[in-house]
Amino acid sequence: MKILVINGPNINLLGIREHSNYGILTLSEINKIIEAEYKKINFEFFQSNFEGEIIGRIQSAQKEFDALIINPGGYAHTSVAIKDALEACKIIKIEVHLSHLAKREDYRQTLLTAGGCDGYISGFKEKSYLAAVYLAKKLYNHK
């Protein structure tokens, strides 16, 4: 199984921003935890602060991958274009958020991009990614 993990804007700042919301680990450390937990899965990790680059990667994903896990960062609340790309992508898609969005600001309660995914996970910091991989694997094996 091959899974693409996409991270959006400001996720490259993990480890130095708002530990109470995002935890203390860097993105690189989270990626290593994912790979260590799921050794039999091939992962590719992609991070961009640019909406168009994220859209391009989503659009090419179904040619190479069995599943896509995305943390769109702030684009989750604003990007119809990323939502449209996710809807057009016909592989398993799970959205991830490190912070517990239901406990955050009102504007974070609208998740546009999650509607283009099979489901979303929020609030478990780095474990959100591990849960998403677990679910992607289960969905893939039950096709």
List pLDDT tens digits, range 81-109: 999 999 999 999 999 999 877 777 777 77
Rg (CA), the chain: 14
List pLDDT tens digits, range 118-143: 999 999 999 999 999 999 999 999 87
C-alpha–C-alpha distance, residues 131 and 49, integer Å: 24
140 belongs to the catalytic site: no
Phi, psi at 61, each rounded to 5°: -65, -40
Higher per-residue pLDDT: 22 or 88: 88
77 belongs to the catalytic site: no
One of 19, 38, 75, 97 is an active-site residue; which one? 97
SS3 41: coil
One of 22, 38, 120, 129 is an active-site residue; which one? 22
Does the structure show a pLDDT above 80 at 61? yes
Looking at residue 51, its pLDDT comes to 98
